[in-house]
Structure 1
Amino acid sequence: MKEYNLKTREGRWRHFGSVDPIKGTKPTEKELMMDLQSSKKDFLFEIDHVGIKNLTYPVRIGDFQTVGNFSLSTHLAKDEKGINMSRILESVESHYENGLTLDFDTLKKVLITLQTAMKQKNASVEVEGVWFFDRYSPITNLKAVGHADTTFEMTVADEEVISQSLTIKAQVTTLCPCSKEISEYSAHNQRGVVTVKADLAEELPADYKEQMLEAMEINASSMLYPILKRTDEKSVTERAYENPRFVEDLLRLIAADLVELPFIKGFEIECRNEESIHQHDAFARLKYSK
């Protein structure tokens, strides 16, 4: 067995099995390499979406920087074998400015860039990210950072927005009306999870996210707060007792508020209570189109 100088990195590599590169016969210049994706013939079907998923990328939502999880895709014509995946990242990178601003105006620009680069008739994006915002305690007015999960979705065709939607998932407090009614004192409560997916008009007010979140939280027995002092806790506890909610109640009240928001064309809502006196959850769901 050949001995190698273990005091050098190359020697150690050789000792652990590294070998010289194989001298190949295929071209190394891009212009001479075969481009399989650009092959043109009958490939049987056009494809609605082809692209990448689970792209982790820095984004800004409002005043805070966070992380987005992206899924980006384009249409693929019947006579084309595939797409050039690298152009997807190039399209995103071309709009990077200390993070990608996560709003629909920016996403539209990214998709138009992608659609143009791919020479396809449409392009789509879905981005999941945590939205951080300032939240003040109800009595002492102490500021801390609250959060909600968001998912932005958009499809563009011929540089026009075909659809755009925002999903917000937030947590609230719900107090059981039945427990309050039948008990001599107290009532059981639990953390509720509210998810709203709204189909949105292209023209949006600056505070569209805040208006959606307010409809979700204000109709609950109580909002959740990062910081609560004793006077705040008293206020939150009493407000919850004054506003008991079944999941059915919460669902209908949120829906009534969303119907009144002119920039929302339709929505899906799910309310789920993580029951405090059962081993199961309770949920309600509805879908509405204006």
Structure 2
Amino acid sequence: MSPPISPLPLPDVAHDAALLARPLDWVGMEKIALPVRIADAAGGAVQVAASADVAVDLHDPQARGIHMSRLYLQLQQAFASETITPAGLRRVLQGFVESQQGLSTSARLVLRYDHLLQRAALASAHRGWKRYPVVIEATLRDGHLRLALSLSIEYSSTCPASAALSRQLNAERFASDFANARPLSTDVVRDWLASERGLAATPHAQRSRAEVRIELRPAFDELPVVALVDLIEAALGTPVQTAVKREDEQAFAQLNAENLMFCEDAARRIAAALASDPRIERFDASVAHFESLHPHDAVARVSGRNGD
């Protein structure tokens, strides 16, 4: 009986020398399915589905490739039992670099997920969930951690020009209807305003969206997703609602009247709020008003740094 044949070692051509010697900026994988634990609004943690991009630089110009599977396997365990924090991201990125055994000096991780927040109605006792797309970018280079958050927030925008034109038509109708009525009582005017005759025109309003990318200062222990969402929504004044009864819809209409805004106004409101936040190093914001008057969108972009 012939002795068993020993299996040959599996080939690993990634260790072969590169045909063209050159370092590479980033090598890795994108759109990896991953569950992650994030802080919730109540101070606890919740597990959500995420998509991850992970990469390291290929610092060694002679190496053909990186240890790709090591990045994937480490990523699968990275956030299984702990909430995402700046310190945790630094530790994970350092692990990615060390897994390459001298091939790499830098690492990068991008996480995308939907952050669900429960929002109270404006006037009634109801509540509902709202979705906020979030992107976390973390880069470790030369021992320095850089963090960025990208947020997408929807709000309502009522056009100031349209509101002014509507007020003019309302005033002209009032003057016409009461041209010969003297004197006028408060009750008569109130009843007229509450009737269909009391609304000659309405301003146009539309759902709008703010896309904000924020570079964070590394001196803080948490990723302030909820705090920044609250900050931006407060600056805009008219975030879209979840549960809505008639009293909530009326309160929303009132908020829109108190916060008339062009896209330029919305961009400046966001910039003013972000520039005064000590957690922020710099920011880039883009707003789009999905016009009901036009077949195109009105957009504005702004960038700045803390203290601007």
TM range (shorter): 0.7 to 0.9
Q: Partner of 1:218: helix, strand, or coil?
A: helix
Q: Partner of 1:71: helix, strand, or coil?
A: strand
Q: Does 1:82 align with 2:59?
A: no
Q: Does 1:48 align with 2:25?
A: yes
| Pairing partner for 2:15 from 20, 38, 41 | 38
Q: Partner of 1:133: helix, strand, or coil?
A: strand
The runs of 5 or more residues in structure 2 that have no matched partner are: 41-45, 170-200
CA shift digits 1:221-244 (9 cap, x unpaired): 511121111111111111101210
Amino acid at match of 2:146: S
Amino acid at match of 2:38: I
**1:207 to 1:95, Cα distance in 2 relative to 1, 3 A:** closer
Partner of 1:169: 152
Q: Does 1:121 align with 2:98?
A: no
| Pairing partner for 1:197 from 185, 205, 213 | 213
TM-score calculated relative to the size of structure 2: 0.79
Partner of 1:232: 248
Q: How does 1:137-286 map to 2 (within 5 A)?
A: 137-157=121-141, 160-183=143-166, 184=169, 185-204=201-220, 206=222, 208-286=224-302
Instruction: Identify which range, 209-218 or 231-240, moves more after superposition.
Output: 209-218
- For 1:66 and 1:170, the matched residues in 2 are separated by 19
- For 1:155 and 1:221, the matched residues in 2 are separated by 33
Q: Is the 8 A contact 2:205 2:292 kept in 1?
A: yes
**1:94 to 1:57, Cα distance in 2 relative to 1, 3 A:** closer
Partner of 1:65: 47
Instruction: Identify which range, 204-213 or 180-189, moves more after superposition.
Output: 204-213
Q: Is the 8 A contact 2:156 2:208 kept in 1?
A: yes
CA shift digits 1:65-101 (9 cap, x unpaired): 3221111000102121101211011111232426x73
Q: Cα offset for 1:106? A: 2.9
- For 1:189 and 1:58, the matched residues in 2 are separated by 38
- For 1:122 and 1:205, the matched residues in 2 are separated by 22
Q: Does 1:105 align with 2:82?
A: no
Q: Partner of 2:78: helix, strand, or coil?
A: coil
Q: Is the 8 A contact 1:175 1:221 kept in 2?
A: no
How many residues matched? Answer: 261
Amino acid at match of 1:117: S
- For 1:27 and 1:108, the matched residues in 2 are separated by 43
- For 1:27 and 1:55, the matched residues in 2 are separated by 36
Greater relative contact order (Cα 8 A, min sep 6): structure 1 or 2? 2
Amino acid at match of 1:145: W
Amino acid at match of 1:34: P
Q: Is the 8 A contact 2:86 2:221 kept in 1?
A: no
Q: Is the 8 A contact 1:177 1:245 kept in 2?
A: yes
**1:289 to 1:177, Cα distance in 2 relative to 1, 3 A:** same
The runs of 5 or more residues in structure 1 that have no matched partner are: 1-25
Q: Is the 8 A contact 1:273 1:282 kept in 2?
A: yes
